[in-house]
Structure 1
């Protein structure tokens, strides 16, 4: 003979009883669980169940926690074989070839935030803070325990440190349904202030949350420094649809103007899909010139002799105008830093290589790591 509690369980599992409907919201139709919604669900679950017995309490929590899973960010993999390449060694290496994206170094388990301090020597970062080293100084971003610290980002611009914390995410325990419940945002903090916190920073730009509908979302895949500007790379994805993530687009925001009180407006600079350059070929890459405020796109094409020809296109961050780079483009390597060296009107310029997108970068790494060629392409420049 079934107890009343067991009967309630059957009704829930069979769909005859909907705790979400009783609580007033359905997380499958509306964005995310909130503490308020969870409280209402448990309160609804308590109605009609046995008093304060252990059965009722365990069932109430099961009803709430059963719809929750670990908070995850969707992997951003535009390298080296295009978006969606989320398997094999390429996925493992994606983060290695984005040294200038401002991605964080993760400290151990999180705790409550400490009070901000303008003195770097006196500041003690909370455990679990995302750590960055910019301009020879370390900065720390305290984050709640349910945030993906590897997706925290920060870069140094002329106006200060621009940073973006990972937003809260929700996961309905179904593949392809993880999404942010708040939009990505950019904050500006003074140089020399070690803590990157909203309490001591200025929010300068907020991306939209939805991308044309309640089932499509924006994702911030990286931020890059460009003098007075910060460059954002972003994409969109749709819940429940495989391979729905779009190719990245790059947008520019004038940080110096925003720091002076002007309204920050983003301007599209570059679209992977729209420009027509195949950046998966050979040693293609994107670099950023902080001094002259430009984005350098280097790509390759094959000629009739089965060799590769290099092409360079320079995008002006202030105007969006582009020009072909006619000079030879070399690479200067110092430790872990790789710099593109080129000329414009006879004047030497440098740009920090931020995104190594061509397949040959991976092939070279694989050979250096394992001593095995996986593609019959010469490794010399």
Structure 2
């Protein structure tokens, strides 16, 4: 059983409960002052505490995926990174791995779809970054072999990993089930972290003399994906979504590049670039660029393109309620805005799991295959 298996978590919880019950049951018998009784009490307390902390640790790891496997946890993961040479072929995408989905028929791509691990080479930005691509079952079916598919870039928050989108937030499985139930059309997902120049948090901006992150996401990535997979190049073919920092990036890049993205969704997004030790000096004193990275300022001072935005917040638990309401108020035609407002929900995976299914349905409804 894997580290992130629900069976492992259930077993840890059961052991903790049994040890607690054993401690309560045996405590009267161990109340004597003999060394055996004292040793027994110490042993039961330590075992119960260890089981409890193990269960809590496994639950936290399942939510935030700090470690992906037992070997990763114990520092035994020694596989080296894959060096991809692109100069010979000129290809901007290199597939370095494939995996199936944990769904009925998942062993066959035409039944369960497929997740491909890739490396993307940025032509203009000169940024190389790994990503995961979810291809729906229809992509492998003969009757759809000449069809293009809509695609959406999906970003984690900072400093999350792309694996969080697969295992923690379950984007591929959710997209599979939503399409199977007829709630959305089959759609390709390109899943990444916003930190394409780790460990720096670039806030998806083009930093003077530094990483050109906005160019990578707005220009290089869609072009590379469209050249490799059956995805169109028009705005109605492309969406952008993410949570937290990823949500800010999705809204900002789609806002500033309506010629590339027809729709974007920001789950628990904030609306201006962070400024802290993880970002460093993003704008090098440029007030113009700093203002442009403020979405509320941009809505007031820059032309609004024909874009659709989805923003999410909650009445209790999120810090972005006020700014989200301000964002909604400032969106003007030809742009459109929709929202999800939960009664309660914090800035965490549980909240985003409640928002992802309707967000996927929403963004799918605003994109087309041709």
TM-score interval, smaller chain? under 0.3
Q: Which is bigger in relative contact order (C-alpha 8 A, separation at least 6)? A: 2
Name the structure with the higher helix share.
2
Structure 1 length normalisation: TM-score?
Answer: 0.24
Name the structure with the higher strand share.
1
